[in-house]
Amino acid sequence: MKKILRNIRGTLFFGVLTLNTIIAVIPVFILAVIKLLLPIPAVRRLTSRLLMGVGELWVTFNSFWFRTGASLDVQTRGIEGLRRDGWYLLIANHQTWVDIVVLQAALNRRVPFLKFFIKQELIWFPILGFAWWAMDMPFMKRYSASYLAKNPHMKGKDLETTRRACEKFIDTPTSVINFVEGTRFSDQKRIDRKSPYQHLLQPRPGGLAIALSSMGELFTSLVDITMFYPNGAASFWDMCCGTPVPVIVDVREQPLEQWLVAGDYQGDREHRKRMHAWLGETWAEKDQIITEMGKAYG
C-alpha cells in the first residue's frame, strides 16, 4: 500500500510539472513563430528576451513546486557576485538528472537563462526541437574521427556550425553550462575508467573546447559549480515521490584566462596538453571540495 501511495503521489506531482510545461509551451510557440517569420534583428532580440522571460517563469514555478512538493533543499554558497547581465561559461560535475533541476533552482534569475549545448540532430525532435531553437539553445555538430578520416574536407566544419549557432549571443547575455565529465557519475564508472578522483569521473575537455572556440571571447568569466548530495544522488522519480533531497551547491567564479580562449584545442598539441592539465587540477580541487562537504555534513 505504501508503494502504491508513493507512486500515486509521484504521478500527481509529475502531472503538475507537465501542466506547467504545457502552459509555458503556448507562449513559447507563439513567440517562436514570430521569430521564424520575422527574422529582423530587432524583432529577434525582443522575442528572445520575451522567451527567456517565459523560461524563467517556468523555472520559478518548477523550483517552487520541487521545494514544497518534493522536499528539494538547495543550499547555495558563492553566488553573491553573479549578475543577470553577464556572459558565463559554467562547468559542473554530473551525478543525476536532478542536477539540471538543482542548477535551475540555484541560478534562476541570478544569471541569464541557462543554455545547454545540444546535438544538432535533435533540432528535428518533435515539438522540443523547435522550442530549443526558439530558446536559442546552441546546437552543436560533431564529426567522429573515422568520419573525418574518410572526409578530410569536413575538418573544422563542426566548429563553424557551432560558431554560427552562437552568433546570436553577441547581443544577449548568456549562460552556457557544460557537464565536463560527459556522463553521470557512478562508482562503477569511476572504477572502469580508472578515475584518479574519489567522487568524480575524469573530465573530458572536448565539449568545453568547442564552447571556448565558438564563443569564448564573449564570456566574462568562468563559473565552476560543485554539487554534493549528502544522502546520495537521488533519482528524478524518487524526488517526485517525496524522497527528501538535500543538495549543497558550491559556486566559484573566476576570470576566463586568455590562453583558454585563444588556443587551438584540435590543432595544437601543446595547448591540448595544457588544457588537460588545467582541467585535471580543477577537478582535483573539486574532488577535495566534495570530500570537505561530506565531512562537514556528517
Tell me the three state secondary structure of residue 263. Answer: coil
Fold of 73-297: Glycerol-3-phosphate (1)-acyltransferase (3.40.1130)
Q: What is the mean pLDDT of residues 72-79?
A: 94
For residues 289 and 31, give the distance between their C-alpha atoms in angstroms, rounded to a whole number: 42
| % of the chain residues with pLDDT over 90 | 56
The pLDDT tens digits for 116-128 are: 877 777 778 777 7
Are 51 and 32 spatial neighbours (Cβ–Cβ below 8 Å)? yes
> What is d(CA 258, CA 270) in angstroms, rounded to the nearest whole number?
15
210 or 28, which is more confident?
Answer: 28
Q: What is the model's pLDDT at position 139?
A: 75
- Yes or no: say if 250 and 196 are a contact pair by the CB < 8 Å rule: no
Mean pLDDT value across the chain: 88
pLDDT for the residue numbered 121: 77
Q: What percent of the chain clears pLDDT 70, i.e. is strictly above it?
A: 91
Structure confidence at residue 267 (pLDDT): 80
Q: pTM value?
A: 0.87
Question: How much is the pLDDT for 101?
Answer: 94
H or E element in which residue 155 lies: none
Q: pLDDT tens digits for 85-118?
A: 889 999 999 999 999 999 999 999 999 999 887 7
Each residue's pLDDT tens digit, 244-267 = 999 999 999 999 888 998 888 878
Cell 544577449 found at: 172
State how far the Cα of 13 lies from the Cα of 69, in Å rounded to an integer.
7
What is the structure's pLDDT at 162? 66
Question: How many beta carbons lie within 10 A of that of residue 68, not counting itself?
Answer: 9
Residue 79 has pLDDT above 70, yes or no: yes
210 pLDDT higher than 80: no
Question: Would you state the pLDDT for residue 118?
Answer: 78
CB 251 within 8 A of CB 223: yes
Using a CB cutoff of 8 Å and minimum separation of 24, what contacts does 263-270 make? 263/212, 264/213, 265/205, 265/206, 265/209, 265/212, 265/213, 266/156, 266/159, 266/209
Q: Tens of pLDDT along 141-171? A: 666 666 666 766 666 666 666 666 666 777 7
What are the angstrom distances between the C-alpha of 274 and each of 193, 217, 246, 271, 279? 21, 19, 36, 5, 9
Phi-psi region of 169 (alpha: psi -120 to 50; beta: other; left: phi over 0): alpha
Q: Does residue 215 surpass a pLDDT of 80?
A: no
What pLDDT does 145 receive?
A: 61
**Annotated domain spans of the chain:** 73-297
